[in-house]
A and B are shown apart, each in its own frame.
Chain A
Amino acid sequence: MKTRRLTELAMLTAVALIIFVIELQIPNPFPIPGVKLGLANIITVYAVYHYRPGEVMMVVFVRVFLGALFGGVMSTLIYSLAGSIFCLAGMIPLSRVIEEKYIWLSSILGAVLHNIGQITAAVLVTQTLGVFAYLPFLLVSGCLAGAFTGICAQLILKRFSGKAYH
């Protein structure tokens, strides 16, 4: 891998991690695990459209792992990991189909997939199907949060488009 590429990926990971840690400081008004804005995924959706699948996975998994480490909540790592795997498994193929100008729509689908992955992990951990009762709340929050992060990503792309970034 070229040094330039590696540096870009490291920078993206660092930016995502900073966003993640800052978001941890915002108190969550919803007492439901998994309901959050997920602002760090602005970087995820951006990376999905601009980097190769392997590179996106590196950015996301390193951020998820270090995020759990920095946040001191290692017990939630399995849920974020399951969510990220579901999200990437859906978004990487979808990014080939969905044009970049609809990035906010593909971000919604990614967020919903992330939530489905999380809740599947929670059902497996607790071995209780009743936990699926949270899926509807997560669908609503996934749609809203996904739209928000997607629109943020779109704004960033607009800023980049005028400049010779690459």
Chain B
Amino acid sequence: MNQKKWLFLICGVLLLAGVIGSILVLRRPRTSQVEIVQDGRVLYSFDLSSEEDQTIDVEYEGRVNRIEIRDHQIHVLEADCPDQVCVNMGWLDSAAPIVCLPNHLVIQFTEGSGSLDAVAG
């Protein structure tokens, strides 16, 4: 009986942590500083609010992700990878980065200067 209580508690805490964490992650970050990272190296870094519309091709072992910036938003337009997960992730609008695992590519908001209050809030 006691064991059951503990197990329920642990699973409940895990679920609750997941729900609260998801809500925190899904809030739109106040920074507009975005970086494109591959294998831990920052390939591009820009401020979306002042960036003009453009497309960027990022290559990895012959496979290409075509990243588009339009109306101060960023997303993956096309990808060579079979699963198309990064394309389906749509526009980058939360702390959860766009990830293309086969091509080791990550597009994420960065904590530039002036975004400290977003963390504290």
Point out the residues of chain B lying under 8 angstroms from A108, CB to CB: 11, 14
Residue contact A122 to B99, C-beta cutoff 8 Å: yes
Instruction: Report how many residues on chain B are interfacial, defined by Cβ distance under 8 Å.
Output: 37
Residue contact B97 to A139, C-beta cutoff 8 Å: no
B80-113 interface bits toward A, Cβ cutoff 8 Å, 1 = contact, 0 = none: 0111010011100001110101101110100000
* Interface, chain A (partner B; CB < 8 A): 31-33, 72-73, 75-76, 79, 97-99, 102, 105-106, 108-109, 112, 122, 125-128, 130-131, 133-140, 142-143
Name, among B11, B19, B82, B104, the residue most crowded by chain A CB atoms within 10 Å (CB to CB): B11
Residue contact B14 to A122, C-beta cutoff 8 Å: no
B7 close to A (CB within 8 Å): yes
For this complex, 21 residue pairs linking A to B, each with C-beta atoms less than 8 Å apart, are A32-B85, A73-B82, A75-B101, A76-B83, A102-B3, A105-B7, A109-B11, A126-B99, A126-B104, A127-B39, A127-B40, A127-B104, A130-B106, A131-B99, A131-B106, A134-B25, A136-B21, A137-B18, A137-B25, A140-B18, A142-B18
Residue contact B40 to A105, C-beta cutoff 8 Å: no
B10 close to A (CB within 8 Å): yes
Instruction: Please pick, from A33, A98, A125, A142, the residue contacting B7 in the complex, using a CB distance under 8 A.
Output: A98
Point out the residues of chain A lying under 8 angstroms from B102, CB to CB: 75
* Interface, chain B (partner A; CB < 8 A): 3-4, 7-8, 10-11, 14-15, 17-22, 24-25, 37-40, 81-83, 85, 88-90, 95-97, 99, 101-102, 104-106, 108
Residue of A nearest to B12 (CB): A143
Residue contact B10 to A33, C-beta cutoff 8 Å: no
Residue contact B14 to A128, C-beta cutoff 8 Å: no
